[in-house]
Amino acid sequence: MKLKHLLILAVTSSLFLFQSCDKEDPKPDPDDDPKTTVKGCMDPKSFNFNPAATEDDGTCQYASATEAKFMFVDFTGTWCWACGDYGAKMVQEMKAAFPNNMVVMEVHKGSSDPMTSTTGVEWLNYWPHSSTPSFVCKDSLVSGHPISPSQSIANSFLSIPAVVGFHHEFTQTEGRLAGKAYLQAQAPLMGKINLGVYVRGHGMIHEQQGDDGSAFPDLEFNTVSKKYPNYVHDYILQAEATNQAFGTQGFADGAAEGEYFTVEYAIDFSTKWAPEWDIVLIAWQKHQGRYTFLNAAVYEK
């Protein structure tokens, strides 16, 4: 009887072992295998889209500046009494009307003005004018009193959503500025599209010719020389980072919404530059040798 019980136990154990060995282990999920997982940005509309990524890691980068801004150019000179009084007042009046959507570019002219630049000379040639100061709103030279026509141009431009957006990354080393600028289509684009990377100066103290000092009563004014000896100049167009007055072409035949291109640059600091500066990105559309302003963004250092 005891032997019978032992035989039954042995047969049962053998069956159990046979069944346990016969059952296959479940296959591992390849998505759970860290060797096959590629982390990265999975959004095709981002600047750093990784087509090989299998897991989005939240690092996608997009245009950081998509709001419409227009450009207001003041052609000026330290030798020009109307520039120090009338011209500066016009810029202030426009800034008061458009405090968040206007990008000012001061283009200095004249051999005695220390704030002239190569890019500025090319802009002067592109927008020829007979009187100083003169003004450009968006991309149109404004004659006569600039406020009314400029406000009309600006309001019309700002009533339409921006067609391009921007992003910018830069690094400053001693004596050198380098970076990468991005332009992304926010709507379908036509034709050739350029991106200009402009270095704009602020806080340059230099004498400025005036009339009688009444325009800026808080500033010191020499009634004999008719100059403001400690005039502070801002928004100075100092350079285009790729040495091209209207930037670098990125789209040769338009672009679909979401498409983008980049401009990498490196430029040495000049002893002529103002002590403070920022970067202005401007998008241009080129057609038959003319440039249409599309949008602008300012990036502080």
pLDDT digits (tens), the chain, 301 positions: 443 443 333 334 443 333 444 455 555 555 555 568 999 999 988 888 899 999 999 989 888 889 999 999 999 999 999 999 999 999 999 999 999 999 999 999 999 999 999 999 999 999 999 999 999 999 999 977 899 999 999 999 999 999 999 999 988 777 889 999 999 999 999 999 999 999 999 999 999 999 988 889 999 999 999 999 999 999 999 999 999 999 999 999 999 998 999 999 999 999 999 999 999 999 999 999 999 999 999 999 7
Instruction: Give yes or no: residues 155 and 27 share one domain.
Output: no
Cα–Cα distances (Å) from 279 to 58, 62, 157, 166, 236, in that order, read 27, 18, 22, 12, 11
Residue 270 covered by a domain? yes
Instruction: Give yes or no: residues 199 and 101 share one domain.
Output: yes
Q: Specify whether the CB–CB gap between 192 and 252 falls below 8 A.
A: yes
Omega prior to 133 cis, within 30 of 0: yes
Number of separate domains in the chain: 2
Give the span between the Cα atoms of 86 and 133, in whole angstroms. Answer: 8
Residue 61 covered by a domain? no
Domain of 19?
Answer: 2-43
Residue 18 covered by a domain? yes
> How many angstroms separate the first and last alpha carbons of the chain?
95
| Rounded to 5°, angle at Cα 236 from 233 and 237 | 170
Residue 54 covered by a domain? no
Cα–Cα distances (Å) from 198 to 29, 82, 148, 182, 201, in that order, read 52, 26, 27, 14, 10
SS3 272: coil
Instruction: Give yes or no: residues 31 and 76 share one domain.
Output: no
Q: Which of 183, 191, 194 is nearest to 254 (CA)?
A: 191
Instruction: Give yes or no: residues 205 and 296 share one domain.
Output: yes
